[in-house]
Structure formats: structure tokens, C-alpha cells
């Protein structure tokens, strides 16, 4: 990073060219958009502070483009919401509606007329900013937007004959992989899952879900058994930062040498995290609070004022921030201020997980991400996930996402 630009760096200056993104292969004429949907059953139900789920619906936008010389290519992305609006306001039903508006905007038709085919005479997109500009008027609906942007990048990479991370300026051949352990009925149940992660998987980092009353005993038991484990906790907004008892519990976590406490307070809060948790020595990670680069810049400014940017961590989930260009912008903005970054997960299929690995190959992503689980996420996935070994995942080197043929045949009607 150019130190002369650090003092003036903001989201306006983070253009694709500044970020080192390759996106100059000429205009693309959008021909057709098709959305595949699959209900995917989890092998192991997952519980957090906000809910428990055993299956998820995944939407896969497939966009076919044509180049000026007549070559056609289809790119595929993934939309990965939860099954109800627990994590944020989105769910698979809202994503389905949003995809209708996105399809209409991208194909140049009204939402009532949109059938996936491009309107006659539709102008080509000339780069990612041109592509995003087609639907910038749509407020929110980040997960739907991330899915269609993913299809764009997959298509661009296929045309160039390179993996997506090459277009994004990624430099790592493999990335550190962490795992997430959900809330379990007993401390012993949590310990059993942590033991598998540490002793069998040799994972790089373990994250455990917590909430008030189900926190200190869990962390104490893990730390007693694994004193040097890279350990962090995730509250998914379960603590009230105006409640003295909750603040006291969070302060007690300082004793356990945690990498971070993730999103302890409200999922729409930036200010109170910085002000009311400044006395903690454990870094605070913002997840749900950061929806775009503007939020990241504001959070960094607050932590500089009240504590220090080294005590702030940001979990950058591309589906949460509306796509991969915005995710890269946030990562670069954080790195310029000494804020650590990692990539979380939304129980994506193999496609979405692989896209996260491509993003994590950027040098600014400097902490292990939520990339692997103790068993395959789904009874039947859409492809094989990247190769995992001894705490690291290989970044795929094949063209596009590098996954080969995807199995999107089991379309289901969204109930």
C-alpha cells in the first residue's frame, strides 16, 4: 500500500484499477440469465444464538454473455441466505424476489416482463462498474447482488482462461482455514467437536458460538484443554451493550487469550461497540454491522478515536456486503489502517465456499476464515470443495472458480 495514500484513502478512491483488479477484456453483451434453486440438507444441524436450521435453499444465477467476436460464455454465482431473517433481513424468499428485479435491470426489461432474455439492442457492459451500475438503484439485497456479481467474475475469468483470484489480485496459493462450532446442549458436546477440529483436522483456528449464560464455562473448558489454541467466540449480536451484567461477562472473556469476540452487540451498531467495549483487551470483530466500505471506514474512525485500530477486526463476508468488489474494497481499507480481516461463511455450497477462498487469497485477508467444517456441510453438494490439508485450503487453479462441472440439476420450488 502506498503510504502517501493512507491518509486520504476512502471508498471513493478504491477503483478496480487502484485495487489491482483485471477487468479490461472488452465489452460483454448479456444474452440470458437463468436462476437455479436447490434446497440443500445439512448433514449436521447448526445452532447459533438466533436459531437452528437443518436445510438451506441456495440460488445460483447463471449469466450467459457474448463477446464482440461472437464467443459465448456462462458464469455462475451463488446467493447464500439463511432460511429465515435471523442473521439479517434477508432469507431465501426475499432473495428470490430481489433476483427478479436484478434480472430485469440487467436485461433491460421491467420486472413484470423480465424472462431472463436480454432486451433487443441492450448495450454491453464494459467492466465490473458498468455491470454493477445496471442495478445500483436497488437498495439493499446484498446476497442477491453478490450472486449475480459472482456470475460476472466467473464468466470474465473463463474468457481469459484464468482462475478468478487472478482477476482479483490474489497472491496466495493456499489460505488458512478455520472452523465454526455451533451451540450445543452441553459443554462436553462442544468439547467433543473442538477435539475433532484440533486433534483430527489440525485446524488453523476454532470459533465457537456463545450467548449470555452459555459463554464463560464453554470458553474456560476449551482453554483448559487447549491452552495454545487459536480461539475466538462469536455472539451473533446476543449481548446488550447497555446491560452492565452483559458488559461484565464480556470483560471476563479477557482472561482467556481469545483472538477476538465477534459481533457481541446489535447487528446494526457501530458506535457502541467502539465506545462501550474500549476497556476490553480482547479485539472486537464486527460482522453484521459492516454492510459496505462506508461502514468499515466509519468503524475504523471510531476505533482510532476510542481505542486503537489494532483492536478492531472485520469479518468480510462477500454475500453480506453485496459482492466481491466491495469485499476487496473493505479489505484494502482495513489493511491501510492496521485492521485485521478474515472471511466468514454463510453455509455456502462448494461454489460459494470456493469463491470465498479466491477472495481470501488477497494479501489483506490476514486471519483464518470459516472455510471448512467437521463433516461435509451438505448431504449432496454442487461440486467438490477445494483440497484441505493441515489447516490450509488450496486456492483452485482451474479457470473460473476452478470447480469443473457443477451439479445444479435438482431444482426445487421455493416453498
In angstroms, rounded to a whole number, what is the distance separating the alpha carbons of residues 244 and 188?
29
Coil vs helix vs strand at 314: strand
Strands 29-48 and 261-262: unpaired
Given the residues 145, 207, 317, 353, select the one marked as catalytic: 317
**70 backbone φψ class: left, alpha, beta (φ>0; ψ -120 to 50):** left
Query: Comparing C-alpha atoms, which of 173, 6, 90, 96 is closest to residue 165?
Result: 173
CB atoms within 10 A of CB 39: 16
Place of cell 472458480: 401
**How far is residue 173's CA from residue 359's CA, in Å, rounded to a whole number?**
12
Q: Are strands 174-181 and 392-394 parallel, antiparallel or unpaired?
A: antiparallel
Which of 172, 193, 207, 209 is flagged as catalytic?
209
Exposure string for 344-382, b = 16+ CB within 10 A, e = fewer: bbbbbbbbbbbbbbbbbbbebbbbbbbbbbbeebbeebb
3-state SS, residue 126: coil
**Do 383 and 355 meet the contact criterion of CB atoms below 8 Å apart?**
no
**Distance in angstroms (rounded) separating the CA atoms of residues 248 and 8:** 38
**What is the rounded CA–CA span in Å between residue 227 and residue 162?**
42
Residue 5 designated active-site: no
Q: Are 37 and 96 in contact (CB under 8 A)?
A: yes
Element (DSSP H or E) covering residue 206:
strand 205-209
Q: What DSSP character marks residue 395?
A: P
User: What are the DSSP calls for 36-75, one per residue?
Assistant: EEEEEEEEEEEEETTEEEEEEEEEEEEEEEE-TTS-EEEE
Percent helix, strand and coil across the chain, each rounded to 5? 35, 20, 45
Any catalytic annotation for residue 211? no
* Catalytic residue numbers, as ranges: 209, 317
Amino acid at each position: 500500500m502506498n503510504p502517501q495514500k493512507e491518509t486520504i484513502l476512502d471508498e471513493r478512491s478504491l477503483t478496480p484499477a487502484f485495487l489491482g483488479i483485471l477487468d479490461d477484456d472488452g465489452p460483454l453483451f448479456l444474452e440470458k440469465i437463468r436462476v437455479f434453486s436447490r434446497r440443500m440438507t445439512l448433514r449436521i444441524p447448526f445452532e447459533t444464538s438466533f436459531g437452528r436450521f437443518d436445510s438451506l435453499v441456495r440460488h445460483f444465477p447463471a449469466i450467459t454473455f457474448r463477446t464482440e467476436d461472437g464467443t459465448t460464455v456462462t458464469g455462475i454465482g451463488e446467493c447464500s441466505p439463511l432460511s429465515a431473517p435471523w442473521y439479517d433481513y434477508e432469507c431465501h424468499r426475499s432473495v428470490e424476489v430481489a433476483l427478479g428485479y436484478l434480472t430485469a435491470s440487467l436485461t433491460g426489461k421491467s420486472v413484470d416482463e423480465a424472462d431472463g432474455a436480454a432486451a433487443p439492442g441492450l448495450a454491453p457492459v464494459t467492466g465490473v462498474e458498468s455491470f454493477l451500475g445496471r442495478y445500483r438503484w436497488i437498495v439493499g439485497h446484498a446476497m442477491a447482488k453478490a450472486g449475480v456479481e459472482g456470475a460476472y467474475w466467473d464468466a470474465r475469468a473463463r474468457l481469459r482462461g484464468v482462475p478468478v483470484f487472478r482477476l482479483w489480485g490474489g497472491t496466495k496459493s493456499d489460505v488458512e482455514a478455520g472452523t465454526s462450532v455451533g451451540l450445543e446442549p452441553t459443554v462436553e458436546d462442544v468439547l467433543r467437536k473442538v477435539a475433532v477440529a484440533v486433534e483430527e483436522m489440525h485446524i488453523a483456528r476454532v470459533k465457537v458460538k456463545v450467548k449470555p449464560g452459555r459463554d464463560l464455562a464453554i470458553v474456560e473448558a476449551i482453554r483448559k484443554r487447549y491452552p495454545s489454541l487459536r480461539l475466538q467466540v462469536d455472539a451473533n449480536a446476543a449481548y446488550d451493550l447497555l446491560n452492565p451484567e452483559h458488559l461484565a461477562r464480556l470483560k471476563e472473556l479477557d482472561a482467556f487469550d481469545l483472538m477476538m469476540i465477534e459481533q457481541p452487540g446489535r447487528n446494526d451498531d457501530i458506535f457502541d461497540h467502539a465506545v462501550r467495549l474500549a476497556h476490553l483487551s480482547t479485539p472486537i470483530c464486527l460482522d453484521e454491522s459492516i454492510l459496505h466500505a462506508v461502514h468499515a471506514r466509519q468503524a475504523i474512525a471510531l476505533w482510532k478515536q476510542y481505542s486503537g485500530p489494532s483492536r478492531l477486526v472485520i469479518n468480510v463476508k462477500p454475500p453480506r456486503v453485496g459482492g466481491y468488489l466491495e469485499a476487496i474494497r473493505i479489505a484494502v481499507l482495513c489493511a491501510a489502517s492496521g485492521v485485521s480481516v478474515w472471511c466468514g461463511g454463510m453455509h455456502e455450497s462448494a461454489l460459494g465456499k470456493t469463491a470465498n477462498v479466491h477472495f481470501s487469497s488477497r494479501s489483506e485477508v490476514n486471519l483464518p476464515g470459516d472455510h471448512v467444517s467437521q463433516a461435509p456441510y451438505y448431504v449432496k453438494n454442487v461440486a467438490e470443495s477445494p483440497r484441505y490439508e493441515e489447516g490450509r485450503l488450496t486456492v483452485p487453479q482451474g479457470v473460473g472458480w476452478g470447480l469443473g462441472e457443477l451439479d445444479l440439476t435438482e431444482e426445487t420450488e421455493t416453498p
